Chain A
Amino acid sequence: MSAKAACVPHSVRRNLLVRNRWLLARRLVQGTILVLFLLGPWFAIWWVKGNLASSTVLDVLSLTDPLILLQSLAAGHAPHALALTGALIVLVFYLVVGGRVYCSWVCPINVVTDAAHWLRTRLGLGPGWQPRRSLRYWLLAMTLIVSAVTGSIAWELVNPITWLHRGLVFGMGLAWLVVLAVFLFDLLVSRRGWCSHLCPVGAFYGALGCAALVRVNARGRAACTDCGDCYRACPEPQVLVPALKPRAADASVVIASGDCTNCGRCIDVCGENVLHMGTRFAKPP
């Protein structure tokens, strides 16, 4: 501990706010988005209508979840232009800011699974059941196939994200059960089980992330002390390795994997200023 403390270059880093700035920013954005959706039903301020599946902002901007629309297409429906342009806008947005920014900055289930993970760590439970992380891509393919076969938007029948969000905005009913199920799954069955191994929505946005503009990079990797803080904080630690511990010295510093959610938690916890938010074109200093 003392050796590590000696390496801390800036005293500001010890400031609690600075040390958690990405986490706080993320919670702020998640909260703001939810509040925007709730302003209407709670206070009759209708800046945003609808829910995460599709919404209109200020009665002008129409947004639609591209994965839900993709399932609709697979199910054989030719959507109205409103939904198509809405999905295109969302698609372009996440191609710029990083695909799984949806997961870490927007999705309400993220708060649930982060809470489960926090508690799981506190309770000292091990990793538990850890299916391969690629399973979610297979599940993504499955949702599209089932949509095509059954002629319905299949994943929306069970998707905890939209169940929770729709529940909060339009009335919960028994939807909290599925939220509780995800929480208990992540708490007792599998560490980071839902978001990092199974969720096909995350897989879809992850696929977008492979080509996204904004990416975290390990520009300061020369200063890395192998303390392991970033690995412990990261929900997808495998994405850090190629940029942080490259096989060749001139390898890219960019965390290129679409699985990275751009949550920035690694930047928060790194005491050596190794990690930075940047673009996919970031170069070593």
Chain B
Amino acid sequence: MTDTSGPRDRRDFLRQCVGLASSAGVAGLLLAAHARQAQALPPVAIRPPGALDEEVFSAACVRCGLCVRACPFDILHLATPDRGVTVGTPYFVARQGACEMCEDIPCVVACPTGALDHDLRDIAQARMGVAVLTGRDTCYAVAQQTGCRACYLACPVKGRAITMERHQANGRGYFEPTVHTDACTGCGKCEQACVTEKASIKVLPLALARRDPPAAA
């Protein structure tokens, strides 16, 4: 009831408008600064299949969690404010639960806004990220030449996204898991399956791995 007094005249009205606009403007600048900062995506957080490029994703995703509910394997999470992922947006952590690459891609079908691209019909075309052999020094197959091929066996794009390539070192032959980025969907199965204490092969977000996603099929 304290602010029902209307403007006295046109000058007063204008003065009020300038005051209100400035207040909103200050709030807007703070929000814009926060928006820029909040678009960071930590490398462990992988977007669901079909997710638009990160810069467009925050314009498209309404943070409703319908993809989370649609996932039959419950691997997707909505980011809480303390996660370092844009608040409310969906992600999964491959080491804890990799994408099972459902053929009908229910998470994409459930997305109401198209932040997960409905044009993605073939899950093998998904590019959630890309696997990288980050620990050649820890990988059993390379460092200890054990013949481990857990990642190769776990890979759902069998024999195409990861192959075991023969190399020679110290007079001995060994097989090194080699990622073929044109076939890797970034599902994270390899990272989840890796037997070393800290995964020696990891899925990184596409932007980080600096690879352009292929044109939509």
The chain A residues found within 8 Å of chain B, CB to CB, are 40, 46, 49-51, 53-56, 62, 64-65, 68-69, 72, 75-80, 82-83, 86, 127, 130-135, 138-139, 141-143, 145-147, 149-158, 162-163, 166-167, 169-175, 177-178, 231, 237-238, 241
Contact = CB atoms under 8 A, between A and B. Distances in A.
Interface in B7-53: 16, 20-21, 23-25, 27-28, 31-32, 34-36, 38-39
Interface of B: 1-4, 16, 20-21, 23-25, 27-28, 31-32, 34-36, 38-39, 55-56, 58-66, 68-69, 77-78, 80-83, 86-88, 110-115, 118
Given A72-B60, A151-B55, 19 more contacts: A49-B69, A50-B69, A55-B66, A79-B112, A80-B114, A83-B113, A86-B112, A127-B2, A131-B3, A132-B3, A134-B20, A146-B31, A147-B59, A151-B58, A152-B35, A153-B58, A156-B88, A157-B86, A173-B81
A50 B112 CA distance: 10
B81 A80 contact: no
Contacts, number: 172
Nearest to B21: A138
Contact of B62 (A46, A69, A173, A241): A69
B64 A167 contact: no
A42 to B, nearest CB: 13
Contacts of A149: 32
Nearest to B86: A157
B112 A80 contact: yes
Contacts of B62: 53-54, 64-65, 68-69, 72, 83, 153, 156
In this complex, the member of B24, B88, B112 whose beta carbon has the largest number of chain A beta carbons within 10 angstroms is B112
A80 B118 contact: yes
B50 to A, nearest CB: 11
B80 A157 contact: no
B77 to A, nearest CB: 8
Contacts of B34: 157-158
A51 B65 contact: yes
A51 B64 contact: yes
Contacts of A141: 24
A145 B88 contact: no
Given A64-B62, A150-B35, A54 B112 contact: yes
B69 to A, nearest CB: 4
A50 B65 contact: yes
A144 to B, nearest CB: 10
A166 B88 contact: yes
4 closest Cβ contacts across the A-B interface?
A: A173-B80, A75-B59, A54-B64, A80-B114
Contacts of A132: 3, 16, 20
A167 B80 contact: yes
- Most chain-A Cβ atoms within 10 A of its Cβ — which of B3, B56, B118? B3
A46 B88 contact: no
A258 to B, nearest CB: 16
Nearest to A144: B28
A163 B112 CA distance: 19
Contacts of A127: 2
A112 B80 CA distance: 20
B113 A80 contact: yes
B213 to A, nearest CB: 17
B24 A62 contact: no
